[in-house]
């Protein structure tokens, strides 16, 4: 993917949440966004998804200019995985996935069976296809939401702390599914608190703290942080690992 973020400003009312952040990255497949709580990571991801507009600067992802392109059509090209899976509780796993293809991509349910079942099989969920979200584990539900995002064959996938609501065993399960995305050469950007995983999977790390991108680069920055902020953050999060 190619990401060109130029002096992007985002405010909620008068509160600055992203303060003129800039980032130029090209030829990477997996980007991990890390940093302390409240720093602006999820907000940044929502901007990259076209889910919200920004107040200044410019974002380009691949050839899409998010301030000029039609955001409705851009959103159809990205997959988004929410912190808490966001599946519809009254629909089966299969229907949750099919609905996006039906409503957003005009593909009738009967045409989606092979695609969805193939993906569910790949992600170890085929036997759960007719179950409702409350009948499967949190990890399975989160994996189903990854499959839902993948079903549209997105140009890029955005994952917002996909394991934050899960216990360690389920976290492991979901991280394995995310690793599979990488093995399948899918481009994705993940906001994560799992630093060990980020180190393992990312091509590029972006550290956001206090409304700014403080440091970014290859995973090597996690071994050799240049800034005091990243060093302090890593000391804190790695102290219990
Ligand atoms: N919709 C909103 N309206 C008003 N303020 C918001 C909104 N969304 C986020 N904020 C504020 O923006 C700041 C950044 O929030 P954000 O969720 O982007 O941080 P984060 O780094 O992802 O944190 P966490 O790791 O806890 O999820 C916070 O101060 C938050 O309260």
Q: Residue 47: which pLDDT band, with cuts at 50, 70 and 90?
A: very high
Q: Are strands 204-209 and 212-217 parallel, antiparallel or unpaired?
A: antiparallel
- Above 90 in pLDDT, residue 165? no
At residue 200, the pLDDT reads 94
Q: Which fold has domain 28-238?
A: Rossmann fold (3.40.50)
**pLDDT tens track for 183-201:** 999 999 999 999 999 999 9
192 lines ligand 1 (CB under 6 A): no
At residue 70, the pLDDT reads 85
At residue 186, the pLDDT reads 96
In this structure, which residue's CA is closest to atom 6 in ligand 1? 12
**pLDDT tens track for 59-114:** 999 999 998 888 989 999 999 999 998 999 999 999 999 999 998 889 999 999 99
In this structure, which residue's CA is closest to atom 31 in ligand 1? 38
The pTM score is 0.95
Each domain of the chain, given as residue ranges in start order, spans 28-238
> What is the ipTM metric for this complex?
0.96
43 lines ligand 1 (CB under 6 A): yes
Average pLDDT estimate for 189-216 = 97
- Above 80 in pLDDT, residue 179? yes
């Amino acid at each position: 993917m190619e990401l060109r973020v130029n002096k992007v400003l985002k405010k909620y009312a008068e509160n600055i949440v992203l303060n003129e952040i800039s980032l130029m990255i090209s030829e990477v497949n997996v980007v991990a966004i890390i940093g302390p709580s409240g720093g602006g990571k999820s907000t940044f991801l929502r901007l990259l998804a076209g889910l919200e507009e920004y107040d200044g600067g410019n974002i380009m992802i691949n050839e899409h200019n998010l301030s000029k392109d039609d955001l409705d059509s851009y959103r159809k090209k990205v997959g988004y995985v929410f912190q808490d899976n966001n599946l519809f509780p009254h629909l089966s796993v299969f229907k949750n996935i099919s609905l996006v293809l039906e409503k957003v991509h005009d593909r009738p349910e009967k045409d989606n069976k092979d695609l969805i079942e193939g993906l569910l099989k790949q992600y170890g969920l085929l036997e759960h296809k007719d179950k409702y979200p409350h009948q499967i584990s949190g990890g399975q539900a989160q994996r189903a939401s990854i499959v839902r995002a993948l079903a549209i064959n997105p140009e890029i996938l955005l994952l917002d702390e996909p394991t934050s609501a899960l216990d360690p065993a389920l976290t492991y399960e979901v991280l394995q599914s995310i690793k599979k995305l990488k093995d399948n050469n899918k481009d994705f950007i993940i906001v994560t608190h799992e630093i060990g995983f980020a180190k393992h999977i990312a091509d590029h790390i972006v550290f956001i703290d206090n409304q700014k991108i403080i440091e970014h680069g290859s995973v090597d920055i996690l071994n050799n942080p240049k800034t005091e902020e990243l060093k302090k953050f890593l000391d804190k999060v790695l102290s219990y690992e």
